[in-house]
Structure 1
Amino acid sequence: MARSETAPLMAPSTPKDEFRHLLLLALPLIVSQVLEYLPNVVNGMLTGHLETTNASEARLLLSANGLSGLYFTVFIYSAAIGVGTALDGLCAQAYGKGAIDEIGVLLQTACITSSALVLPLLALCVFSSPVLLALGQPLDVALATQACTRLMALAIPFVFGYEILKRVLQGQNAVRPIVFAFLGANAVNGVVSYAFLYHTSMGYTGCALAFPCMYAAGGALLYPKVAQLQHLQASTWCWHSAWQRMPLFLLRSFSGWAMFVFELAGVSTSSFLAGGLPNATAAITATSIYMGFRMIFSMVYLGLGVAVSIRVGNALGAHQPQRAKTAAWQTLCMSVSWAILSGLAMVLVGGYYAELYTHDSAVLSLVKELLRATAPLQGTMAIWGVVQGVFRGSGTPHEGAALNLIGFFLLGLPLGYAMAFHGGFGVLGLWLGVYTGFGVCAAYGLYWLITVQWENLMAKVDDTLGV
């Protein structure tokens, strides 16, 4: 690994240095998050401009495109995120402690875990329409979406491979290769999507076939960088050591999966429930476009969350609890500052973004209403995104999982449903429920950051690694 990539970890622990090193780490991570989401935007726009016979068909195709991506993320990609969450904290802590041989064992444990998940996840992709129907989707939307998810199933092993390689690198502060890898993956996605959408008889399902091609390219571009790591070159398959770490790894993976899924499912259920509103296709399409714009800005929160996870994990592993605390609060300030800019962008340019997808007046009206109403609430996402990163880096993702369950499922979803279907708020009510969940979680996150004892977290890291 290049010295320049590890340099941010070795610097003196002063607030000024920590802020500079956070930026050096966060900026490539933010770019990589944007690049990972960009294919969804590109494919949605390409689908929206396919020739259709009427506005109803165009809405159906956009709905299928948006829901297939959402379904894959909630039910499939979330499993890879769970495995990645375990690697995030454990690799960062091991690297901070200098126990780099442990990283090779963790990689093997991740591969075993992922292999056991592939077949069940394939079944979920192939038979997605019953799940979608159970979630209240119209039959035509469910069947159109299933046509996409069956092709997207081919991506499952490549998604796991990409996520594992990415987490191993970023836990050691090697983040620039991730940016270059997904730049290449985006190019593959654009070419394949355009070719299959407009130059074959596949129609809107062409984007789904681009999905496995994209992740295969991303993993292939990351693999040489991981293979160059000297401590991994020296590693051999050690089943005994890998299985020894399995209980801890599975617990961290489950907590990471639950933390991700409870939040994402709470947010995504709003899209599924939109299918039960009057003028369902307009509501689903508006939600898909709104989520696309919102997620572009949310990539910064995600990137900052990954950065603080790495810094906190490295610092606790290196017995520097004060540096971990400094990293957490500095990242929080950066995230809230971005939330202010995000809210302004939602009001000022969000409507123009929506017009890139469609000129349907009913859809555009709903999108603009969502953007204006939720712009002031972006700070809740900013705070909670950073706190979840701290949970991952400190080895306490179960805290985030519990809060997401309470905030989104026990409070946000029931409130959103009541406002949407009984309060007359429509699709806006669903999203006000979502932001209620973010508000509850953010309030607890601030309390946790103020009261947590960083020395105790450091001691738990020592007990966990045992090296």
Structure 2
Amino acid sequence: MAADTPLLNNNRSNVEAEEAASFPVRFGLESKRLWHLAGPAIFTTICQYSLGALTQTFAGLHSELDLAAVSVENSVIAGLAFGVMLGMGSALETLCGQAYGGGQIRTLGVYMQRSWIILLTTALVLVPIYVWSPPILELIGETTEISDAAGKFALWMLPQLFAYAMNFPIQKFLQSQRKVLVMAWISAVVLVLHAVFSWLLILKLGWGLTGAAITLNSSWWLIVIAQLFYIFITGSDGAWNGFTWLAFADLFGFVKLSLASAVMLCLEFWYLMILIVITGRLKHPLIPVDAISICMNLNGWDTMIALGFNAAISVRVSNELGAGNFNAAKFSVLVVSVTSVSIGVLIMILVVATRDYFPYLFTTSDAVAAETTKLASILAVTVLLNSLQPVLSGVAVGAGWQALVAYINIACYYLVGLPAGIILGFTLHLGAEGIWGGMIGGIILQTSILVVITSITNWKREAEQAESRVMNWGGSIINF
């Protein structure tokens, strides 16, 4: 199987020669491969995350209520959908990556179509959450004013939900083939257009939330359409062979892995998003919610860097396991962990150094800026932790450990971190700082466990399981 793989340096002699090289040489070669993937992936994730972040920024410059509405919708309603869609789509990282590593190129298009079926069905299931978001937000503690504004904005953002369902399978399909530059260029062009039209509609024309919804929906669908044009026109080097009835075969096994992936990543994405909801239950919540939202905005940008490495290591691990090169997969994990943590340290220093200045990029309110500055130290710690945790999650996705990590996330985040945050924030009256500080404890525990699991993994056995997975879910292509 490994002899048929399209990976660079995939033949046995090259693999063995590289493994015999000195540590610095191996580290340099692997770093080059990782940055070839991670650089465009980081750029893409930052661009796509910036669509919502820029919308939130322009909304904050329009009014404090608009900022709260967009922040809550992005974090709670769209955040829930984003987590579900990205999580279910991440099953494609395991399957497409291992199939590509094993040389089974023609199965990638089938996998993407199966994922579309599953995610579009899931999007329909999520529609009621958007429709009835005002009472849902009030039920979890948001004020009536914020809930009504966020609910109105959520209803207008339904097109984004279905764009998520299309986009994430496309991204995993392209990532597994290392076509990350295509996504980067498309995302960059759309981001520029988004910034111009957001300024025009939200601020210049004064359309507020209406303008925000128009630009954000349009930008996400423009990304989807542009990527589809690329795939349909080029055929993606044989990975796309047209629509096929085989997309409806073996859906049960595909759904099972998709659900495990969704649970794993949703529990991670929702964890810090819950922070905004809990903060909304404090007395006089508008200023703390706005301050937390600004911090989550910055933390989100930093997380996008880690998610770029998440995508890179997922591709590297899945490709190498699919090709049977288990030692290469193991070494890649070490290299990406060192690299990502080093970047995390630099960003942590930057946050601390600019804590008195960066809040004014997002708000004109001195009260909100002062509260944000108070939270900067906790934000700095979170940034450092987020440099490693998403990378380890990428390893889990590349190896197919989603179900195991889901259980770990439940225990660390929701049985330890969340109760600790509630106790510190409300019982001990430490407010937003206490809530956030307690929840960081859950991240530390989860990251520590993943480090141990990754360290003791039998990578040879993982490679054997990858080969079995590709063989079981491959199949022939039957086109319309």
What 5-or-longer segments of structure 2 have no aligned partner? Answer: 1-5, 19-25, 475-480
Structure 1 pair 245/433, CA: closer, same or farther in 2 (3 Å)?
Answer: farther
What is the DSSP-based 3-state SS (H/G/I as helix, E as strand, rest coil) of the residue aligned with 1:351? coil
Distance in 2, Cα, partners of 1:236 & 1:357:
45
Kindly state the Cα deviation for residue 235 of structure 1 after the two structures are TM-superposed.
4.2
- Equivalent position of 2:406 in the other structure: 401
Distance in 1, Cα, partners of 2:30 & 2:66:
47
Match for 1:237: what amino acid? T
Structure 1 pair 403/150, CA: closer, same or farther in 2 (3 Å)?
Answer: same
> Which region of structure 1 is more displaced relative to structure 2, 121-130 or 145-154?
121-130
Match for 1:35: what amino acid? C
- Equivalent position of 2:241 in the other structure: 234
Structure 1 pair 350/292, CA: closer, same or farther in 2 (3 Å)?
Answer: farther
Q: Deviations over 1:164-221 (max 9, x none)?
A: 2111100111100111111122133223323322355632332122222011110122
Q: Please say if 1:176 is aligned against 2:188.
A: no
Distance in 1, Cα, partners of 2:382 & 2:328:
30
TM-score by length of 2: 0.90
- Report how many residues are paired: 453
Match for 2:95: what amino acid? L
Kindly state the Cα deviation for residue 257 of structure 1 after the two structures are TM-superposed.
1.1
- Equivalent position of 1:53 in the other structure: none
What 5-or-longer segments of structure 1 have no aligned partner? Answer: 1-5, 51-57
Kindly state the Cα deviation for residue 110 of structure 1 after the two structures are TM-superposed.
1.0
- Equivalent position of 2:465 in the other structure: 460
Distance in 2, Cα, partners of 1:415 & 1:115:
37
Q: Deviations over 1:83-123 (max 9, x none)?
A: 32011111000000000111121012112112312322222
- Equivalent position of 1:31 in the other structure: 43
Written as runs of structure 1 = structure 2, the 5 A alignment for 1:68-467 is: 68-200=73-205, 202-227=207-232, 228=234, 229-238=236-245, 241-466=246-471
CA contact (8 A) 1:420 1:428 kept: yes
CA contact (8 A) 2:80 2:270 kept: no
Distance in 1, Cα, partners of 2:98 & 2:160:
30
Kindly state the Cα deviation for residue 291 of structure 1 after the two structures are TM-superposed.
0.8
Kindly state the Cα deviation for residue 462 of structure 1 after the two structures are TM-superposed.
1.5
CA contact (8 A) 1:88 1:310 kept: yes
CA contact (8 A) 2:417 2:441 kept: yes
CA contact (8 A) 1:293 1:350 kept: no
What is the DSSP-based 3-state SS (H/G/I as helix, E as strand, rest coil) of the residue aligned with 2:198? helix
What is the DSSP-based 3-state SS (H/G/I as helix, E as strand, rest coil) of the residue aligned with 1:49? helix
CA contact (8 A) 1:289 1:357 kept: yes
Distance in 1, Cα, partners of 2:9 & 2:278:
45
Kindly state the Cα deviation for residue 365 of structure 1 after the two structures are TM-superposed.
2.1
CA contact (8 A) 2:49 2:301 kept: yes
Match for 1:337: what amino acid? S
Structure 1 pair 39/108, CA: closer, same or farther in 2 (3 Å)?
Answer: closer
Match for 2:244: what amino acid? W
Kindly state the Cα deviation for residue 232 of structure 1 after the two structures are TM-superposed.
4.0
Q: Deviations over 1:125-182 (max 9, x none)?
A: 1221111111100000000001111111022222222222111100111100111111
Match for 1:356: what amino acid? L
Distance in 1, Cα, partners of 2:9 & 2:411:
36
Match for 2:163: what amino acid? F
Distance in 2, Cα, partners of 1:232 & 1:26:
22
RMSD after superposition: 1.8
Structure 1 pair 382/405, CA: closer, same or farther in 2 (3 Å)?
Answer: same
Kindly state the Cα deviation for residue 440 of structure 1 after the two structures are TM-superposed.
0.5
Q: Deviations over 1:234-270 (max 9, x none)?
A: 34412xx333331222122112211121112221111
CA contact (8 A) 2:231 2:240 kept: no
- Equivalent position of 1:55 in the other structure: none
Structure 1 pair 358/199, CA: closer, same or farther in 2 (3 Å)?
Answer: closer
Structure 1 pair 401/249, CA: closer, same or farther in 2 (3 Å)?
Answer: same
CA contact (8 A) 1:91 1:168 kept: yes
- Equivalent position of 2:31 in the other structure: 19
Distance in 2, Cα, partners of 1:274 & 1:232:
46
- Equivalent position of 1:3 in the other structure: none
> Which region of structure 1 is more displaced relative to structure 2, 447-456 or 395-404?
395-404
Kindly state the Cα deviation for residue 320 of structure 1 after the two structures are TM-superposed.
0.2
CA contact (8 A) 1:125 1:146 kept: yes
CA contact (8 A) 2:42 2:308 kept: yes
What is the DSSP-based 3-state SS (H/G/I as helix, E as strand, rest coil) of the residue aligned with 1:358? coil
Distance in 2, Cα, partners of 1:243 & 1:405:
32
Match for 1:150: what amino acid? L
Structure 1 pair 9/271, CA: closer, same or farther in 2 (3 Å)?
Answer: farther
Distance in 1, Cα, partners of 2:294 & 2:252:
40
CA contact (8 A) 1:147 1:205 kept: no
What is the DSSP-based 3-state SS (H/G/I as helix, E as strand, rest coil) of the residue aligned with 1:88? helix
CA contact (8 A) 2:94 2:397 kept: yes
Report the identity percentage: 22
CA contact (8 A) 1:374 1:432 kept: no
Kindly state the Cα deviation for residue 367 of structure 1 after the two structures are TM-superposed.
1.1
CA contact (8 A) 1:72 1:125 kept: yes
Kindly state the Cα deviation for residue 225 of structure 1 after the two structures are TM-superposed.
2.3
Distance in 2, Cα, partners of 1:350 & 1:249:
45
What is the DSSP-based 3-state SS (H/G/I as helix, E as strand, rest coil) of the residue aligned with 1:257? helix
